[in-house]
Amino acid sequence: MPQTNDVAEVDAGQPLVPQFRQLLEQRDADALADLVHSRPISDALRGFLRLGTDERAMVLSLLPAETAAELIDEAPTEVAADLMEHLLSDTAADIIDELDSDVQADVIGELDDSDAEAILAEMDIEDAADVRRLVAYEDETAGGLMQAEAFTFHEDDTVGAVLQRVIDGEEDFERHRGQHPYILDTDNRPVGVVSLRSLLTAPRKATLAQIMVEPKTVSVSTPLGELDDLFEMHPFLGVPVIESDGRIVGVVSRTAVADAMREHLESDSLKLQGVVGDELRSMPLWLRSRRRLAWLSANIFLNILAATVIASYEEVLTAVIAIAFFLPMVSDMSGCSGNQAVAVTMRELSLGLVRPIDVFRVWVKEASIGVINGTVLGILIGIVAWLWMDNVYLGLVIGAALAINTLIAVSIGGVVPLLVKRAGQDPAAASGPLLTTITDIAGFFLVLSIATLFMPALTS
């Protein structure tokens, strides 16, 4: 059996997958743990996810729970939940128990109800209750992002007593990283906060009530956008989260909010491209295929509408074949302008800066940009068409079509997410296909219909 240090030293530069498989055959739990620790955790996860489903489950079962939790913590939530589903309930519970409460809630929340309850039944009663409570909150709120653990003391505790508890190691600082000590009254309501510097410089006999300052708190329902603004305005590392009765129920950290904002924007970006969920290539083939086809299949029917417009102007295309060169340019450039408008609206939606009721205001703002950008782009492409085909009327047709279609595209891109949101659907998933279809149809129609008006000049 190889020694733990040997694995780290000798094999650190070798591919991970063969090493995982070799150690699996040997059922060498210690060497597997050392293999994971011999690389950055992101590299270890990448190699681990290239194993088969059964191999991954076996690795997690053999690894110490703490080491397995490091892999789970590094994985995207949906992937982590899938890994948990392939483990025995008691093994999964041991791993989940090593995670922070906010991560526990995220993973449990992704599981089927039966799998989740089976794991929770194996956990400590109080820990399971915390997870159930956290899962009940909306994902992108303070309640959904917070950790249940809070670094708390009471008003009448003395500075000396607090420091002694810290020295004795009574408090698990790893669980409270990024938090200042929060001071609670007898009803567990946060009434103050102290910095560690204040603790070190204050008289040992002073009570926390004498050195604390008023804390900033947020409600469990505070949305992600407001949390992001709060941390932008203040240098807090964490903020206490309170229920409607003022009791502290957890702490939301700056890191958790930043990660949630990044994931939100990444998710919206993927949805606009037709990728739903946290897709990774380590996921089951049929799941990935089904998710992509759901969007691509719908696009077939949407594109048929655009093709129908072209077919109805067959005579125009036959007479002026040069128009065919510019059709995709007009639709593509307009689509790019529309996507910019969609991105801005999605950003403002996530920050809570706009709501569906703001449709008209958003349209006015986007239409103003559409007029300016459409005019500039129309002139540019019109000049290109004129010089390329030596026909000023062709330049007028293409330029006018692009200018008008740009105005249409940014108008639609700005307001469609709001309208979709009002209808109760996901604006990120629906806005892209709608924008693409409308800008294609409008672009083709504008080019071909304006060309029909100028047909004598175009064919002379």
Structural domains of the chain sorted by starting position, each given as residue range(s) with its CATH number in brackets: 4-139 (1.25.60.10), 152-269 (3.10.580.10), 285-459 (1.10.357.20)
Are 138 and 109 in contact, with CB atoms under 8 Å apart? no
| Residue 401: CA count within 13 A, CB half-sphere | 34
pLDDT at 3 over 50: no
Lowest-confidence region among 96-100, 254-258, 412-416, 427-431: 427-431
C-beta of residue 24 within 8 angstroms of C-beta of residue 62: yes
Given the DSSP bridges, would you call strands 218-219 and 238-242 parallel, antiparallel or unpaired? parallel
Q: How confident is the model at residue 389 (pLDDT cuts 50, 70, 90)?
A: confident
Q: In the Cβ-directed half-sphere of 344, how many Cα atoms lie within 13 Å?
A: 16
- pLDDT, average across residues 166-176: 60
pLDDT tens, 368-378?
999 999 999 99
- Of 250, 268, 3, 246, residue with least CA distance to 146: 250
What H or E segment, with its residue span, contains residue 8? Answer: helix 4-10
Q: What are residue 351's phi and psi, to 5 degrees?
A: -90, -5
pTM value? 0.60
H or E stretch covering 199: helix 196-201
Rounded distance between C-alpha atoms, residue 358 and residue 336, angstroms: 23
Confidence check: pLDDT of 28 > 50: yes
Tens of pLDDT, residue by residue over 207-266, are 898 999 888 999 999 998 889 889 888 888 889 999 988 899 889 988 889 888 887 776
Task: Provide the pLDDT confidence category of residue 312 given band limits of 50, 70 and 90.
Answer: confident
The reported pLDDT for the residue numbered 283 is 63
- Residue 157 to residue 183: CA distance in whole angstroms: 9
> Region 440-450: what's the mean pLDDT?
89
**Which pLDDT score, from 0 to 100, does residue 67 have?**
93
